Copies of this chain bind each other. A is one copy, B any other.
């Protein structure tokens, strides 16, 4: 009975996750194009051919939905990048790998990454109802941890003499501006092959490490 209840629960949980993911994808697209405030939940519902009732069945508020999209976006980043941090190789190569993985990730999850950016802004300026503010702070720490990964690699590569920069803060910010650039300016062309997307990513990475004073060749 406990087993039956569990299996049922798991199945249902899986259904729930699927439904939530579909909602999040619609929400991410809406938030990306119109911003958190201007997006109505009726719009989000319409985008997935559904109704507001479904959204409020899964989320207590618009803000909670937003935060879930934020969290999902960050998870995608971590999953793309963290495995590469373990690899044994010169820091400069790890840097290249990590940068490329990040760029590919943001291109593929553009809408979600845009929401992450909005979330960062909302924290900086203290928008967002007080209830969810705590959770927003928590997500910001997640983002800081992610950023810290990159800082580490930058400093390692600097120690090896492969790159050079003045202020780690400005350098890191500039690198992120570069590799997050596609979130803003990349427009997916229909019939764009995987190879073409990789070429875009490679060029972004090239500029990012050049920015850091790297003068070697690219693979």
- Hey, which bits of chain A sit against chain B, CB under 8 A? 32-38, 125-127, 165-167, 170-171, 173-174, 177-178, 180-181, 184-185, 200, 203-204, 206-208, 210-213, 215
Contacts and interface: CB of A to CB of B under 8 A. Distances in A.
Contacts of A171: 203, 207
Nearest to A215: B215
A174 B204 contact: yes
A204 B173 CA distance: 10
Q: State the majority secondary structure of interface residues on A.
A: helix
28 contacts: A32-B125, A33-B125, A33-B126, A33-B127, A35-B35, A35-B37, A35-B38, A38-B38, A38-B127, A166-B206, A170-B204, A170-B207, A171-B203, A171-B207, A173-B181, A173-B184, A174-B178, A174-B181, A174-B208, A177-B177, A177-B180, A177-B185, A178-B211, A207-B212, A208-B211, A210-B210, A210-B211, A210-B213
B36 A203 contact: no
A207 B213 CA distance: 8
Contact of A34 (B127, B180, B181, B185): B127
A26 to B, nearest CB: 15
A43 to B, nearest CB: 11
Contacts of A36: 35, 38
- Between A165, A207, A211, the greatest number of chain B beta carbons within 10 A of the residue's beta carbon is seen for A207
A179 to B, nearest CB: 9
Contact of A181 (B35, B167, B177, B212): B177
A211 B207 contact: yes
